[in-house]
């Protein structure tokens, strides 16, 4: 059973377009991380959100944590080919010893 569901699973867009990736769960998380992974590499941490309703911006990327801390979104403005990769959300629960990873969103930005 997957604790975190991401959508869409695959996304192919033209350079300059905007996109949003969603990470949803019925469980509450104490924090949520977003990672980007390129082929042959490990996931690279982009951001951590910990407060319900929190919004963080990283250049053209905007991350939001849901008010109830059950979901999150990643919005990319004016996507660039360098944004291509696998985007993963991961949640930590108050109790427990692991990060629960989402199913992943594979993004391809076409020049």
Partner 1 sequence: GAGVSQSPSNKVTEKGKDVELRCDPISGHTALYWYRQSLGQGLEFLIYFQGNSAPDKSGLPSDRFSAERTGGSVSTLTIQRTQQEDSAVYLCASSSQPNTEAFFGQGTRLTVV
Could you list the residues that contact partner 1 (CB under 8 A)? Answer: 2, 30-31, 33, 35, 40-45, 48, 88, 90, 92-94, 96-104
**Least Å from the CB of residue 73 to partner 1:** 18
d(CA 73, CA 12): 18
DSSP-assigned letter for residue 84: -
**Least Å from the CB of residue 100 to partner 1:** 8
**Least Å from the CB of residue 17 to partner 1:** 25
Considering beta carbons, is residue 31 or 64 the nearer one to partner 1? Answer: 31
Considering beta carbons, is residue 19 or 46 the nearer one to partner 1? Answer: 46
Q: Which residues of 53-86 are buried (b: 16+ CB within 10 A; e: fewer)?
A: ebeeeeeebbbbbbeebbbbbbbbeebeeebbbe
């Amino acid at each position: 059973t997957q604790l975190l569901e991401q959508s869409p699973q695959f996304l192919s867009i033209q350079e300059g377009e905007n996109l949003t990736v969603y990470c949803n769960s019925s469980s509450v998380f104490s924090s949520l991380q977003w990672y980007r992974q390129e082929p042959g590499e490990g996931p690279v941490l982009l951001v951590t959100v910990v407060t319900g309703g929190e919004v963080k911006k990283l250049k053209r990327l905007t991350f939001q944590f849901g008010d109830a801390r059950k979901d999150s979104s990643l919005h990319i403005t004016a996507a660039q080919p360098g944004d291509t990769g696998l985007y993963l959300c991961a949640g930590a629960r108050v109790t427990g010893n692991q990060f629960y990873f989402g199913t992943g969103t594979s993004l391809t930005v076409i020049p």
